[in-house]
Protein backbone atom coordinates (compact mmCIF):
# COMPACT_ATOMS: atom_id res chain seq x y z
CA UNK A 1 0.00 0.00 0.00
CA UNK A 2 1.29 3.45 -0.92
CA UNK A 3 1.52 6.26 1.61
CA UNK A 4 0.57 9.86 0.86
CA UNK A 5 1.52 13.19 2.50
CA UNK A 6 -1.62 13.42 4.65
CA UNK A 7 -0.87 10.02 6.17
CA UNK A 8 2.68 11.12 6.97
CA UNK A 9 1.29 14.12 8.85
CA UNK A 10 -0.78 11.78 11.03
CA UNK A 11 2.31 9.74 11.90
CA UNK A 12 4.41 12.82 12.69
CA UNK A 13 1.75 14.26 14.98
CA UNK A 14 1.39 10.90 16.72
CA UNK A 15 5.12 10.55 17.39
CA UNK A 16 6.27 14.15 17.87
CA UNK A 17 5.63 14.69 21.58
CA UNK A 18 6.66 11.16 22.56
CA UNK A 19 9.87 11.29 20.52
CA UNK A 20 12.69 11.58 23.09
CA UNK A 21 14.85 14.68 23.18
CA UNK A 22 18.39 14.34 21.91
CA UNK A 23 20.59 13.28 24.84
CA UNK A 24 23.34 15.62 23.61
CA UNK A 25 20.94 18.55 23.67
CA UNK A 26 21.95 21.51 25.83
CA UNK A 27 19.43 23.47 27.93
CA UNK A 28 19.53 26.43 25.56
CA UNK A 29 18.71 24.33 22.49
CA UNK A 30 15.35 25.46 21.14
CA UNK A 31 12.34 23.14 21.06
CA UNK A 32 9.43 23.89 18.75
CA UNK A 33 5.86 22.61 18.58
CA UNK A 34 4.25 21.26 15.42
CA UNK A 35 1.76 23.31 13.40
CA UNK A 36 -1.87 22.20 13.06
CA UNK A 37 -2.74 19.08 11.08
CA UNK A 38 -4.02 21.16 8.14
CA UNK A 39 -0.85 23.27 8.03
CA UNK A 40 1.36 20.20 8.33
CA UNK A 41 -0.53 18.50 5.49
CA UNK A 42 0.01 21.56 3.31
CA UNK A 43 3.74 21.76 4.10
CA UNK A 44 4.46 18.09 3.47
CA UNK A 45 2.36 18.10 0.29
CA UNK A 46 4.24 21.14 -1.04
CA UNK A 47 7.60 19.52 -0.32
CA UNK A 48 6.46 16.28 -1.92
CA UNK A 49 5.45 18.10 -5.11
CA UNK A 50 8.82 19.88 -5.26
CA UNK A 51 10.66 16.57 -4.86
CA UNK A 52 8.87 15.31 -7.98
CA UNK A 53 9.95 18.28 -10.10
CA UNK A 54 13.02 18.30 -12.30
CA UNK A 55 14.98 20.86 -14.26
CA UNK A 56 17.07 19.62 -17.18
CA UNK A 57 16.81 16.12 -15.78
CA UNK A 58 18.01 17.11 -12.31
CA UNK A 59 15.80 16.70 -9.24
CA UNK A 60 15.50 19.43 -6.63
CA UNK A 61 17.14 18.38 -3.35
CA UNK A 62 16.66 20.63 -0.33
CA UNK A 63 16.72 20.80 3.44
CA UNK A 64 13.97 22.85 5.08
CA UNK A 65 13.55 23.75 8.74
CA UNK A 66 10.41 25.12 10.40
CA UNK A 67 11.99 27.40 13.01
CA UNK A 68 11.97 31.03 14.01
CA UNK A 69 15.01 32.96 12.78
CA UNK A 70 15.78 33.98 16.38
CA UNK A 71 16.90 30.38 17.01
CA UNK A 72 19.98 31.17 14.90
CA UNK A 73 22.02 34.07 16.36
CA UNK A 74 23.23 36.57 13.77
CA UNK A 75 26.82 36.58 15.05
CA UNK A 76 27.54 32.87 14.60
CA UNK A 77 28.64 30.72 11.69
CA UNK A 78 30.24 27.39 10.74
CA UNK A 79 32.03 25.43 12.05
CA UNK A 80 30.91 26.46 15.57
CA UNK A 81 27.43 27.69 14.74
CA UNK A 82 24.90 28.41 12.01
CA UNK A 83 25.17 31.41 9.69
CA UNK A 84 21.76 33.08 9.37
CA UNK A 85 21.02 34.94 6.13
CA UNK A 86 17.74 36.88 6.33
CA UNK A 87 15.76 37.98 3.30
CA UNK A 88 14.82 41.66 3.25
CA UNK A 89 11.19 40.54 2.87
CA UNK A 90 9.84 37.03 3.63
CA UNK A 91 8.35 35.30 0.63
CA UNK A 92 5.43 32.84 0.48
CA UNK A 93 6.34 29.16 0.60
CA UNK A 94 5.18 27.33 -2.50
CA UNK A 95 6.53 24.92 -5.08
CA UNK A 96 7.88 27.64 -7.34
CA UNK A 97 9.63 29.58 -4.57
CA UNK A 98 11.45 26.41 -3.47
CA UNK A 99 12.32 25.51 -7.05
CA UNK A 100 13.75 28.99 -7.67
CA UNK A 101 15.81 28.87 -4.47
CA UNK A 102 17.21 25.41 -5.09
CA UNK A 103 20.20 26.41 -7.30
CA UNK A 104 21.42 28.84 -4.64
CA UNK A 105 21.00 26.48 -1.66
CA UNK A 106 23.51 23.65 -1.50
CA UNK A 107 21.94 20.55 0.08
CA UNK A 108 25.03 19.59 2.08
CA UNK A 109 25.70 23.08 3.45
CA UNK A 110 22.42 24.95 3.76
CA UNK A 111 18.83 24.84 4.97
CA UNK A 112 15.87 26.97 3.96
CA UNK A 113 14.33 28.64 7.02
CA UNK A 114 10.55 28.93 7.15
CA UNK A 115 7.96 30.01 9.71
CA UNK A 116 4.17 29.90 9.94
CA UNK A 117 2.49 33.31 9.78
CA UNK A 118 -1.01 33.33 11.36
CA UNK A 119 -2.53 35.08 8.32
CA UNK A 120 -0.14 34.55 5.41
CA UNK A 121 0.65 30.89 5.98
CA UNK A 122 4.16 29.50 5.61
CA UNK A 123 6.80 32.10 4.78
CA UNK A 124 10.44 31.68 3.77
CA UNK A 125 12.48 34.03 5.94
CA UNK A 126 15.97 33.15 4.72
CA UNK A 127 18.75 30.61 4.42
CA UNK A 128 20.93 28.98 7.09
CA UNK A 129 24.49 27.92 6.34
CA UNK A 130 25.06 24.82 8.46
CA UNK A 131 28.43 23.69 7.12
CA UNK A 132 28.97 20.01 6.32
CA UNK A 133 29.83 18.53 9.71
CA UNK A 134 26.25 17.30 10.14
CA UNK A 135 27.06 14.66 7.50
CA UNK A 136 29.27 12.90 10.05
CA UNK A 137 26.07 11.39 11.44
CA UNK A 138 25.83 9.39 8.21
CA UNK A 139 29.39 9.18 6.87
CA UNK A 140 31.42 9.06 10.06
CA UNK A 141 33.78 11.55 11.67
CA UNK A 142 34.96 12.72 15.07
CA UNK A 143 34.43 16.48 14.97
CA UNK A 144 31.72 18.06 17.09
CA UNK A 145 28.58 18.88 15.12
CA UNK A 146 26.19 21.76 15.66
CA UNK A 147 22.84 20.45 16.85
CA UNK A 148 19.81 21.85 15.09
CA UNK A 149 16.92 23.12 17.21
CA UNK A 150 14.38 20.41 18.06
CA UNK A 151 12.17 21.64 15.23
CA UNK A 152 10.54 20.08 12.19
CA UNK A 153 13.12 19.43 9.45
CA UNK A 154 12.29 18.05 6.00
CA UNK A 155 14.89 16.55 3.69
CA UNK A 156 14.01 16.35 -0.01
CA UNK A 157 16.61 13.96 -1.38
CA UNK A 158 15.07 12.65 -4.60
CA UNK A 159 11.83 12.13 -6.54
CA UNK A 160 9.09 11.30 -4.04
CA UNK A 161 11.68 10.89 -1.28
CA UNK A 162 11.07 12.82 1.94
CA UNK A 163 12.73 12.38 5.30
CA UNK A 164 11.08 14.04 8.28
CA UNK A 165 13.21 14.80 11.31
CA UNK A 166 12.94 16.32 14.76
CA UNK A 167 16.08 18.40 14.71
CA UNK A 168 18.91 16.08 13.65
CA UNK A 169 17.06 12.81 14.26
CA UNK A 170 14.93 10.93 11.76
CA UNK A 171 11.28 10.26 12.60
CA UNK A 172 10.18 8.80 9.25
CA UNK A 173 11.20 8.47 5.61
CA UNK A 174 8.89 8.26 2.60
CA UNK A 175 10.45 6.54 -0.41
CA UNK A 176 8.74 4.98 -3.38
CA UNK A 177 5.38 5.45 -1.68
CA UNK A 178 6.51 3.33 1.28
CA UNK A 179 6.97 4.70 4.77
CA UNK A 180 9.80 3.76 7.14
CA UNK A 181 9.36 5.18 10.61
CA UNK A 182 11.79 5.13 13.53
CA UNK A 183 10.13 2.05 15.05
CA UNK A 184 11.31 0.03 12.04
CA UNK A 185 14.92 0.62 13.02
CA UNK A 186 16.24 -2.83 14.06
CA UNK A 187 19.38 -1.32 15.60
CA UNK A 188 17.27 0.43 18.24
CA UNK A 189 15.58 -2.79 19.24
CA UNK A 190 16.26 -4.32 22.64
CA UNK A 191 17.07 -7.78 21.30
CA UNK A 192 19.88 -6.68 18.99
CA UNK A 193 21.46 -4.56 21.73
CA UNK A 194 21.41 -7.61 24.01
CA UNK A 195 22.81 -9.79 21.22
CA UNK A 196 25.87 -7.54 20.75
CA UNK A 197 26.27 -6.61 24.42
CA UNK A 198 29.11 -9.10 25.22
CA UNK A 199 31.18 -7.87 22.26
CA UNK A 200 30.43 -4.27 23.13
CA UNK A 201 31.47 -4.72 26.77
CA UNK A 202 34.67 -6.54 25.77
CA UNK A 203 35.57 -3.80 23.31
CA UNK A 204 35.01 -1.04 25.86
CA UNK A 205 37.02 -2.88 28.53
CA UNK A 206 39.91 -3.39 26.10
CA UNK A 207 39.82 0.26 25.12
CA UNK A 208 39.81 1.49 28.73
CA UNK A 209 42.71 -0.86 29.57
CA UNK A 210 44.71 0.58 26.70
CA UNK A 211 43.97 4.15 27.78
CA UNK A 212 45.20 3.33 31.29
CA UNK A 213 48.41 1.73 30.00
CA UNK A 214 49.76 4.68 28.00
CA UNK A 215 51.18 8.00 29.16
CA UNK A 216 49.79 10.15 26.37
CA UNK A 217 46.18 11.36 25.89
CA UNK A 218 43.87 8.93 24.08
CA UNK A 219 40.35 9.80 23.00
CA UNK A 220 37.58 7.88 24.74
CA UNK A 221 35.26 5.79 22.59
CA UNK A 222 31.60 6.22 23.49
CA UNK A 223 29.02 3.70 22.29
CA UNK A 224 31.14 2.81 19.27
CA UNK A 225 29.15 -0.23 18.25
CA UNK A 226 25.78 1.49 18.48
CA UNK A 227 26.98 4.58 16.61
CA UNK A 228 28.40 2.52 13.76
CA UNK A 229 25.21 0.52 13.40
CA UNK A 230 23.01 3.62 13.48
CA UNK A 231 25.24 5.37 10.95
CA UNK A 232 24.94 2.39 8.59
CA UNK A 233 21.14 2.39 8.82
CA UNK A 234 20.80 6.17 8.48
CA UNK A 235 22.98 6.16 5.38
CA UNK A 236 20.62 3.68 3.73
CA UNK A 237 17.60 5.75 4.73
CA UNK A 238 18.78 9.20 3.68
CA UNK A 239 21.11 8.76 0.71
Q: Going residue by residue through the chain, which has 239 residues, state the pLDDT in tens, using 9 for 90 and above.
A: 566 667 888 888 888 887 766 655 554 555 678 999 999 999 999 999 999 998 888 889 999 999 999 888 877 777 778 899 999 999 999 999 999 999 889 998 999 999 999 999 999 999 999 888 777 766 666 667 778 888 999 999 999 899 999 988 888 888 878 877 655 555 555 667 777 788 878 888 888 888 889 888 877 776 544 444 444 444 444 44
H helices present in the chain, as ranges: 5-16, 37-52, 95-101, 136-139, 190-213, 224-238
| CA atoms of 121 and 124, how far apart (whole Å) | 10
The model's pTM? 0.73
- Which residue, of 145, 166, 184, is where some domain finishes? 184
Q: Are 10 and 62 in a shared domain?
A: yes
Residue 192 included in any domain: yes
Q: Are 204 and 144 in a shared domain?
A: no
Q: Are 97 and 193 in a shared domain?
A: no
Residue 238 included in any domain: no
Q: Are 92 and 201 in a shared domain?
A: no
Q: Are 62 and 180 in a shared domain?
A: yes
Q: Are 112 and 18 in a shared domain?
A: yes
Q: Which of 11, 239, 33 has its CA nearest to residue 134?
A: 239
| CA atoms of 113 and 65, how far apart (whole Å) | 5
Residue 56 included in any domain: yes
Question: 179: domain range?
Answer: 5-184
Q: Are 130 and 227 in a shared domain?
A: no
Q: Are 191 and 145 in a shared domain?
A: no
Residue 194 included in any domain: yes
Residue 239 included in any domain: no
Amino acid sequence: MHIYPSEIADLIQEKWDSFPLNQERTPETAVSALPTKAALDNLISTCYQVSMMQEEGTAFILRIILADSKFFPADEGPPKGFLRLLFSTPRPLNEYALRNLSPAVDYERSLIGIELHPEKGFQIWGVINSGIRWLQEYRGGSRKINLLPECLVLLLSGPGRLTICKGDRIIATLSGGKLLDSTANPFRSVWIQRFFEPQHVALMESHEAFRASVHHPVARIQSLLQNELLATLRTSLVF
